[in-house]
Copies of this chain bind each other. A is one copy, B any other.
Amino acid sequence: MAERGRPRSFDRQAALERAMDVFWERGYQAAAMSDLTEAMGINSPSLYAAFGSKEELYRAAIHHFAATESDDILAPLQSEPTARAAIEGYLMASARIFTRPGRPPGCMVVLSAVNAVGVGDETSRLLREMRAGSVTMIEERLQRAIAEGELPAALDPHPIAGYYVTVQQGMSIQARDGASRQTLETIAQGAMAAWDGLTRPRAVAREPALMPR
């Protein structure tokens, strides 16, 4: 069962984490191979043997980001008892994660490849699906709240989820501009001020809470 050949002299997972930090901070295009190999403590042939290419390494870093940072942000959607607390927790967790000391500010999935140029179709699709995945998760949480009677049955979860994800993505930009955790938390509270208006039951087909899908 033992591996054949010369064993790898570096920790693949640790090197991936260092690569993630480089992509996270500099973005995909601005992250040069020399930046990556220096941060990972290896030479480029080792990088290519272990990860395939720069873009494959980037995708691996995105998946690692999703398995660590993203999960911390999305956890409140499952753990909080009410839909309102779930979304508030989602935004407040974002404020905390986006301003962790010593870590790049904002969300890697949102910031590291906003301009899809220079990145392949597969990677572009992966990023877009991940961003859309947040909308789906919030949507499902709202749907659950409707099923449990917390929210009115006539409510359309999709535009509400889209609104809160948009706020969270704006918070990434703000974090990149130097906004503090406190500032981001204030923004999150501002977004929650829309909750009652968005979820209040109202006469159907006369004044919809939010318009189209």
Interfacial residues, chain A to chain B (CB-CB below 8 A): 25-27, 29-30, 110-112, 114-118, 128, 131-132, 159-160, 162-163, 165-174, 176-178, 182-183, 185-187, 189-194, 196-198, 209-212
Q: Is the CB of B189 within 8 A of A110?
A: no
CA–CA, A55 and B163, complex, Å = 35
* Chain B residue contacts of A160, Cβ below 8 A: 190
CA–CA, A171 and B165, complex, Å = 10
Secondary structure of the A contact surface, majority rule = helix
Known: A29-B29, A159-B190. A128 touches B177 (CB 8 A): yes
Q: Is the CB of B173 within 8 A of A27?
A: no
Report the nearest B residue to A30, measured CB to CB.
B117
14 contacts between A and B (CB under 8 A): A30-B118, A110-B173, A111-B114, A131-B173, A132-B177, A159-B186, A166-B171, A166-B174, A169-B173, A189-B211, A190-B198, A193-B209, A194-B194, A194-B197
* Chain B residue contacts of A187, Cβ below 8 A: 159, 162-163, 166
A40 to chain B, nearest CB (A): 18
A62 to chain B, nearest CB (A): 15
Q: Is the CB of A166 within 8 A of B162?
A: no
CA–CA, A115 and B110, complex, Å = 11
A127 to chain B, nearest CB (A): 9
Q: Is the CB of A170 within 8 A of B176?
A: no
* Chain B residue contacts of A192, Cβ below 8 A: 194
* Chain B residue contacts of A191, Cβ below 8 A: 163, 167, 191, 194
A4 to chain B, nearest CB (A): 41
A157 to chain B, nearest CB (A): 12
